[in-house]
Amino acid sequence: MSGFSFQIDGVEVTAKNGQTIMEAADEAGIYIPRLCDHEGLRHQGGCRVCTVKAGGRSVAACTQPAAPDLVVENETPHINKLRRDLVGMLFNEGNHLCPICEASGNCELQAMAYRLGMTEPTKFPYLEPCRPVDASHPDIALDNNRCISCGRCVRASQDVDGKGVFGYVGRGIHRHIAANGPNLRHTDAEVTDFAISAEVCPVGCIIRKREGFARPIGERDYDDHLIGYDIEKKRDE
Amino acid sequence: MNDLPKARIATASLAGCFGCHMALLDIDERLIELMKLVEFDRSPLTDIKRFTRRCDIGIIEGGCCNEENVHVLQDFRRNCDILVGIGQCAIMGGLPAMRNAIMHSDEPLRECLEEAYIRGPFTQNKTQIIPNDPALPLLLDKVYPCSEVVEIDYQIPGCAPTGDVIFEALAGLLSGRFQGFERAHIRFD
């Protein structure tokens, strides 16, 4: 397969034909922050946290194909501020109470806030939605108040599990993720599904029952390392 | 060294659990260094109830769940040069804010009080009355983060923040060189 090179933050990166900016960056050990994108799932370009400037234009790095001699800006103060505002608005939109959430420490939304240094007082009011919790399934619970509508469970269930347990419903601000049935018990969701696994839901919305705090706070994924550490360490090797 | 005027710090706990005040003690032996630089004015640590004079730094734990919290917070804003929110309750309401959104309830505050004083399975309240003595501060419709009530200059995240993060922030603020936290030190839990 033929390849070409382009630049990310002044670093020369090689890419294969058809690769997106993010795929090439991942291979080169350059982390581009993302929430709705996940390895093994098709790209969606929904959360826009991976926004970069490519040739001066703002594009989603997870869907934008890399091109020869493209100049990409990733970790600049301006772009990181945009990302911080985006992540901050996700915190304002749902009920993200880290101290009571069992995903705390494994949560990608929280880890992204750490990475982007989200410590400033919020500029926006908290919407504090009151969405129903679905605990009908014997092994799985859904706390929709924590959902950020990234759609990773939708793609995982459709494409990997071949089930289509989850889907988007509604329009605009009312758009949300729903189970394909009156509740989760009436779908063919199983706790062994990829869509239900710990790596797919980036927040604490999909909960595997009786797992909870088996791994204590302080020993979790992002307690020792910033999110993106696993990609960035490739660069040092 | 002793000739330098000490910075004055005031602290208060609003709708919080005093965990962040406890976390101040996690600074450990660095407290001795800190106390060379500061003295405490109004604070539960000194039991001084009113400001004796203007303070350099005000530290607020907890959000606003009743009118007294709002008055205290406004008093701090008026009397402190720099106002610092400490802990997730001050920053975004924290655990008390769980009463803001109760599933299937249009009146979450009523739901919360009825569960606590009337309907709860372990409630022992023979009068079946929700406390309403005029001496009690009036509850707000919901729990507000401090930054929705007054302007907050800095926030120290955590539940509770570690001693390291608190010391990092206080040392930075006292020297006038605070530029945010090390990314690796930021925690919301």
pLDDT digits (tens, 9 = 90+) for A59-88: 999 999 999 999 999 999 999 999 999 999
For residue A127, give how far its alpha carbon lies from the nearest alpha carbon of chain B (Å). 10
Answer yes or no: do B186 and A119 touch at CB < 8 A. Answer: yes
Contact residues on chain B for A128, CB-CB shorter than 8 A? 97, 100-101, 142
Q: Per-residue pLDDT averaged across B152-161, rounded?
A: 96
* Residue A217 at interface with chain B, using a CB cutoff of 8 Å: yes
Q: Sign of the C-alpha dihedral, residues A180, A181, A182, A187? A: negative
Under DSSP, is residue B75 helix (H, G, I), strand (E, B) or coil? helix
Q: Per-residue pLDDT averaged across A30-42, rounded?
A: 96
- pLDDT above 70 (res A1): no
**E-strand stretches of A55-152:** 57-60, 71-73, 133-134, 140-143
Closest in B100, B104, B159 to A98, CB measured: B159
The number of angstroms, rounded, from the C-alpha of A55 to the middle of its chain's C-alpha atoms is 25
Cα–Cα dist A142/A144, whole Å: 6
Question: Which tens digits make up the pLDDT trace of A190-204?
Answer: 999 999 999 999 999
Buried b or exposed e, range A8-39, using 16+ CB within 10 angstroms: beeeebebeeebbbbbbbbebbbbbbbbbbbe
Decide: B39 and B70 in contact? Cβ < 8 Å: no
Cα–Cα dist A158/B49, whole Å: 61
Angle at A108 between CA A106 and CA A110, to 5 degrees: 85
Please give the domain boundaries of chain A with CATH numbers for all domains.
Answer: 3-74 (3.10.20.740), 84-224 (3.30.70.20)
The closest of A70, A97, A172 to B88, measured between CA atoms, is: A97
Cα–Cα dist A117/A81, whole Å: 10
ipTM, interface predicted TM-score of the complex: 0.91
Question: Which tens digits make up the pLDDT trace of B93-119?
Answer: 999 999 998 888 889 999 999 999 999
Contact residues on chain A for B98, CB-CB shorter than 8 A? 97, 100
Q: Compute the CA torsion angle B113, B117, B123, B128 (nearest 10 deg).
A: -150
For residue B103, give how far its alpha carbon lies from the nearest alpha carbon of chain A (Å). 6
Cα–Cα dist B92/A122, whole Å: 8
Decide: A146 and A93 in contact? Cβ < 8 Å: no
Could you tell me the two tokens for B184? Answer: 């690796």
Could you tell me the two tokens for A25? Answer: 């960056």
Cα–Cα dist A25/A61, whole Å: 9
Answer yes or no: do B188 and A115 touch at CB < 8 A. Answer: no
Question: Which tens digits make up the pLDDT trace of B3-55?
Answer: 678 999 999 999 999 999 999 999 999 999 999 999 999 999 999 999 999 99
DSSP B185: G
Q: What is the chain A residue with the closest CA to B169?
A: A119
Q: In this predicted structure, what is the pLDDT of residue A106?
A: 96
Q: In this predicted structure, what is the pLDDT of residue A39?
A: 93
Please give the domain boundaries of chain B with CATH numbers for all domains.
Answer: 7-98+139-185 (3.40.50.700)
At residue A28, what is the residue type?
Answer: A
- Chain-wide mean pLDDT for chain B? 94
- Chain-wide mean pLDDT for chain A? 94
Q: In this predicted structure, what is the pLDDT of residue A124?
A: 87
**Which residue in this structure is represented by tokens 């006038």?**
B176
Q: Per-residue pLDDT averaged across A126-138, rounded?
A: 93
- pLDDT above 80 (res B2): no
Cα–Cα dist B2/A55, whole Å: 58
